[in-house]
Amino acid sequence: MRLLIVEDEARLAENIARSLRETAAYAVDVAADGEAGLNAIESNPYDAVILDLMLPKLDGMQVLERVRQSGRRTPILVLTARDDKESVIALLNAGADDYLTKPFDLGELLARAKALVRRGKGQASAALTIDDLQVNTADRTVSRNGRAITLTAMEYRVLEYLAHRPGAVVSKKELLEHLYDYNWEKFSNVIEVYISGLRRKLDDGSSRKLIHTLRNQGYVLRA
């Protein structure tokens, strides 16, 4: 998954980014003002955006309104200093999916961001089940038919993305765009390596293969 943080307080932005990268294994981009944030949202397929309200150039409300006016459904969580009823109603009506009042607990932000990501993909639970495969995104554990499977960080990222979209054909480009930050192009030859690692750990010894390759189209996770 790939998230964008739009926040002008550099230290706060860095804290959130580090937590999302280390605890949730997300790829994270940071924009330091509303204009840069809007540009980033318009040019990248983020799985969720964390948007501060008080920003230079364009404020968070303007960014939110422009994103929704352009028809984009990118899940957006707004960080706000105000929690009076009128402000919250205005935010939700402008198209925010969730909000958190400053100061907030980093653990709560993380849990809300994860919930936002999975709802954006049509998943309700943190525990994803595909046939006899279980992917628990809350604690990042994977098991198949009750057998615990140890994955590398990148193998997990690939699997988590596929598990959020079971049965869908996911192209290599889509994986790259959602698993890496700005520099994704230089990683274009490594996806096959992660897929073959996943296949070895998930499918070997099982009569039902779960990871399928569709030539020139991409990968599908299904029984």
Query: Which lies closer to Ca ion via its Cβ, residue 8 or residue 181?
Result: 8
**Smallest gap, in angstroms, from Cβ of residue 69 to Ca ion?**
22
Give CB contacts under 8 A, 24+ apart, made by 179-185: 179/1, 179/2, 179/27, 179/154, 180/2, 180/27, 181/2, 181/27, 181/28, 181/29, 182/29
**Smallest gap, in angstroms, from Cβ of residue 102 to Ca ion?**
9
Cα 184 to chain center, whole Å?
15
**Smallest gap, in angstroms, from Cβ of residue 124 to Ca ion?**
32
- Cα separation, 170 vs 200, in Å, equals 19
What 3-state class would DSSP assign to 185?
Answer: helix
What 3-state class would DSSP assign to 76?
Answer: strand
Contact positions toward Ca ion, by CB under 5 A? Answer: 8, 52, 54
Tell me the residue nearest to Ca ion as measured from the CB. 54
Query: Which lies closer to Ca ion via its Cβ, residue 8 or residue 132?
Result: 8
Query: Which lies closer to Ca ion via its Cβ, residue 76 or residue 135?
Result: 76
**DSSP 8-state assignment for residue 170:** B
**Smallest gap, in angstroms, from Cβ of residue 42 to Ca ion?**
21
Query: Which lies closer to Ca ion via its Cβ, residue 14 or residue 174?
Result: 14
